[in-house]
Chain A
Amino acid sequence: MDITPELLDQHNLTEPEYGRIKELLGREPSFTELGIFSVMWSEHCSYKSSKIHLRRLPTEGECLVQGPGENAGIVDIGDGWCVAFKIESHNHPSFIEPYQGAATGVGGILRDIFTMGARPVASMNSLRFGPIRDEDSTGDESGKIIQRNRRIMAGVVKGLGDYGNAFGVPTIGGEVYFADCYSLNPLVNAFALGLVRREQIFYGKAEGIGNSVIYVGAKTGRDGIHGATMASAEFDEAAMEKRPTVQVGDPFAEKLLLEACLEAMRDGAIVGIQDMGAAGLTSSSCEMGARAGTGIEINLDLVPQRETAMTAYEMMLSESQERMLIVSERGRERQVLEIFQRWDLDAVIIGRVTGDQRLRVVHNGTVVADIPNVALTDEAPRYDRPQIAIIINTENVEPKITAGLKKVETEIRAATRTQVMTEALRRLIVSPNLASKEWVYRQYDHMVRTNTVVLPGSDAAVIRVKETRRSLAMSLDANGRYCRLNPREGARLAVAESARNVVCSGARPLAVTNCLNFASPERPEVMRSFSETIDGMAEACLAFGTPVTGGNVSFYNETEGRGIHPTPVIGMIGVIEEARHTTTQWFNEPGETILLLGLTRGDLGASELLMTLTGEETGAVPTLDLESEKAVQNVCLTAIKAGLVSSAHDCSDGGLAVALAESCFSSYRRAAQGASIDLDAHAAESDQHDVASLLFAESPSRIILSAKPENIAEIEKLAKEAGAACVRIGEVGGSDLTIRLGGEMLIEASVESLETAWRSALSFHLDRPAQMAAD
């Protein structure tokens, strides 16, 4: 067939790329081969725009067992146990079909984990949607947009929940944020973590020439095949029935696949295994061959098929879910097949490992593709795409904050500053970004597997590891707003915050996975922000000694010329050495003393307060001093391990007042607590006298601790030795949250009224009759 410019365009291949394909093959590609190159050389599979930058991330560490390049990263947590973990995006599919897009995102990341031999024991997700509150959007279409955003969110949350719940992995945490730029580009990043014995780890390697290649799991259909194929009528008219491009998830099949895979791995007949994720059969076969330096030959006639008259092109590009490719030791195939049949899953030998380092595909008796593996993997294009300098926002937002507070004063006819500041706090905690995410996590089974020690809602989620004395803490963090205004600093702040969250739960930060969500890399300013993000992340990860073990890059998050904020999501995991060190953010008992580690600066740029008061995303982002950050984290962790601390809470989004309110709110089997705070000493220590900043600035490197009075002196001593600021700011007790400065009451509210507003805010926007009917 003729390979026309139109055809190349439909396959997202450029003329030079096509030239390179011909060079690598030494001939024109067949149509099937063209399809194979197009998926393997796609941004998604080849990382062609990001690879040269990703190299700058630190990927070495003592605990590291497997860094980037495999299905998931692996770190050692001691006692012979390792964890496999990774985060991946499913943004585009979730916009097209929120429920299935999100569900299959969970399915994909779970397979990445159990393909390494690890049983998934925890999942989390990082979500971003357009505004869901009527007042957060303007313009003629705003009503419709808000409605759609709500529908997308409801569908995504239900999809994530239904898949994880049925599969039986607890969804224990994550984050949800809202901004305009995500209206047409919602972000759905799914994280999963699994446990594996060090000697039981499996890799995606097709080792052993002559070994058998086995296809297991669901049948292959036309799911997810790129729309490009539909335009080429001449290639197969019989198969021109309407082809869906939406993949449908089947958590039941995935659960069976998990059990069967783990059983077959224990059995010892498996040499290598890989998930058929993006680009399904194609990527699994050529990547497994490339990693082992071997080749793979497969016969498509043997592939279990759900639909009739499928072409080689379709089978090689299908993204049908819940499938795996296994390389089994020659002569032991029967063992593998029997296990899968016992679990009612298809398992068929479809090919063998060869010594010629090529991917060879046979269909109807003829060779339809014959490509050197390296042409699809190592030889894939790499681009150092052009960048242009970007302007770092340094606007002083003080006048805007002052005007915003003035407006509040007028709106509520406030007579005192107490009323204004209390109202500002109330508005902050009911804003969708800061409101309780109970509406979301109530739909996730977060307790299955009976390991969840800290339920969703605290700084980091914590699970125990039944097999050891240790527990694992994990947190997902990103701040797209910061990263838009200052990508490098935003990335540093995100790493610092996730480390701080993990530390506040009593854990030592161990390693990182990341999901880098960006707009088009073909825009030089996007590419610059990507590059800056990598540098910021690298610097911070190096400082915390937390290597990056892998992750995912998602480019082209833009619709109708509007791109998302640069949104690098950090997934940090940490180890809690003893179960008794596990700490939460909640004030426990009246009479505890409240301490604040760190200093407050005038960091109101890009803050939640500015957004809530003015709807603007502007200003200078907070600056992070890595040394102070490390000092604060060290004091916190040392104090926790010494048994001195009752609660620890990261102070970030919304500032000190919001963090204090969160520490007061009730949690499972723990009543709400009041707190009376006096900021005089902290203001003096920080040399900060602006009331709005003291209450709402988002200065990093701050942690709120509460402790029994007899332990305070010792914590202060630790802080002094580490050179970290540590000031007593108040006491737990009563039913109100009060904050004073210089004798003046700044905030005064009953915790109950604050908590009710905070807890019901999301439900208020999402549980509307019209909305429910559409779910």
Chain B
Amino acid sequence: MKFGVVVFPGSNCDHDTYHVVSKVIGQPVDFIWHKEEQIDRFDAIILPGGFSYGDYLRSGAIARFSPVMRSVRQFAEEGGLVMGICNGFQILCEAGLLPGALLRNRDLRFICEHINIRVERVDTPFTSACEPRQVLSLPIAHGEGNYFCDPETLDALEREGRVIFRYCDAEGSVTDESNPNGSLNNIAGICNSERNVLGLMPHPERASESLLGSSDGRAIFLSMADSLREMIKLRA
């Protein structure tokens, strides 16, 4: 099994994600330069956080045109696991791999703090190791994380169980006070209808070692590794 972490110009959580995959969950991982088009050797692709191309036009708007994104799209269509964290989520939305968009935070400021999210669904390759309704403490660090989509899309996301994470309080209640950025329905993460592409604003890679205050994020990487093991077994 092999993970790939895409490096766009301006990615800055690429090393952190690599560190967690290799050192914390102990799986093989390589960086993928954004100009690479050959990504067949990977079993899961992670688009890391950061400020690709400075996020100068809109977050993720320029990165979606990187050569690697054509391959990522194909990879996803063939059922490969793709996870976008923070800026990676924004890129997936801009690229149309996930619906909706991430607007400026409700209070117009960049926010960096630990928040809680509730795992809404465990029937995805990214959350299979979580308990239903488990509350995870993860950090957010973004200026544009306010999830928005049109009412039809929102309805579809909810109906199809594609809202995977929601901002909540420490007890797991989804409240307006626990919504840090104004996201619709407190959405912190969603997946595509095939459930193999996930985007989330919080940073699981920043909460995968207890030394850093929380290891709750590890469950997401472990879920991916478990799912890949299953997928590889099936393929064989």
Contact = CB atoms under 8 A, between A and B. Distances in A.
Contacts of B110: 158, 161-162, 165, 443-445
B9 A344 contact: yes
B112 interface: yes
A445 B109 CA distance: 12
Nearest to B52: A252
A669 B210 CA distance: 12
Given A252-B53, A442-B113, A166 B209 contact: no
A442 B110 CA distance: 7
A448 B12 contact: yes
B141 A445 contact: yes
Contacts of B70: none
B192 interface: no
Contacts of B15: 449
A526 B209 CA distance: 50
B12 A579 contact: no
Contacts of A343: 9
Interface string A662-677: 0000001100000000
A447 B209 contact: no
A448 B9 contact: no
A450 B54 contact: no
- 3 closest A-B pairs by CB: A168-B12, A252-B54, A166-B51
B118 interface: no
Nearest to B35: A342
B108 A448 contact: no
Contacts of B213: 455, 668-669
Contacts of A253: 54
Contacts of B30: none
Contacts of A450: 16, 19-20, 205-206, 208-209, 212
A66 to B, nearest CB: 26
B218 interface: no
A252 B112 contact: no
Interface string A417-455: 000000000000000000000000111111111101101
A1 interface: no
Nearest to B180: A442
Contact of A252 (B9, B107, B143, B211): B9
B114 A668 contact: yes
Contacts of B12: 166-168, 255, 448
20 contacts: A166-B10, A166-B51, A166-B54, A168-B50, A252-B10, A253-B54, A255-B51, A442-B112, A443-B111, A444-B110, A447-B141, A447-B206, A447-B212, A449-B16, A450-B20, A450-B212, A466-B19, A669-B214, A772-B108, A775-B108
A256 interface: yes
A464 interface: yes
A251 interface: yes
Q: How large is the interface on B (under 10, 10 to 19, 20 to 34, 35 or more residues)?
A: 35 or more
Interface of B: 9-10, 12-13, 15-16, 19-20, 49-51, 53-56, 107-114, 137, 139, 141, 143, 203, 205-206, 208-209, 211-214
A250 interface: yes
B112 A446 contact: yes
Contacts of B20: 450
A98 to B, nearest CB: 15
Given A165-B110, A165-B143, 15 more contacts: A158-B109, A168-B51, A251-B54, A252-B9, A252-B10, A252-B51, A252-B54, A252-B56, A253-B54, A441-B112, A445-B110, A448-B13, A448-B16, A668-B114, A775-B108
The CB with the most chain A CB atoms within 10 A, among B20, B50, B55, is that of B50
A455 B143 CA distance: 19
- Report whether over half of chain B's contact residues are helix, strand or loop; otherwise say mixed: mixed
The CB with the most chain A CB atoms within 10 A, among B110, B111, B212, is that of B110
Interface in A750-775: 767, 772, 775
The CB with the most chain B CB atoms within 10 A, among A168, A255, A343, A455, is that of A168
Interface string A507-530: 000000000000000000000000
A466 B51 CA distance: 24
Interface residues of A, number: 36
A461 to B, nearest CB: 14
Contacts of A448: 12-13, 16, 49, 141, 206
Contact of A669 (B49, B50, B137): B137
Nearest to A167: B12
A266 to B, nearest CB: 15
A245 to B, nearest CB: 23
A447 B56 contact: no
Interface string A153-182: 000001001100111100000000000000
Contacts of B203: 447
A623 B148 CA distance: 58
Interface string A568-579: 000000000001
A767 B109 CA distance: 11
Nearest to B17: A450
B141 A255 contact: no
A166 B8 CA distance: 13
A166 B55 contact: yes
The CB with the most chain B CB atoms within 10 A, among A446, A450, A455, A772, is that of A450
A441 B114 CA distance: 13
B8 to A, nearest CB: 11
A772 B139 CA distance: 25
A694 B145 CA distance: 48
A710 to B, nearest CB: 25
A407 to B, nearest CB: 37
A455 B137 CA distance: 15
Nearest to A251: B54
A161 B110 CA distance: 8
Given A165-B141, A166-B54, A252-B53, A452 B113 contact: no
Interface string A317-361: 000000000000000000000000001100000000000000000
Contacts of B206: 447-448, 450
A167 B211 CA distance: 24
A669 B114 contact: yes
Nearest to A438: B113
Contacts of B107: 767
Nearest to A582: B211
B178 to A, nearest CB: 16
B36 to A, nearest CB: 13
Contact of B10 (A255, A442, A767): A255
A616 B110 CA distance: 36
Contacts of B56: 252
Contacts of B114: 668-669
A443 B211 contact: no
Nearest to A441: B112
A770 to B, nearest CB: 14
Nearest to B10: A252
A118 to B, nearest CB: 15
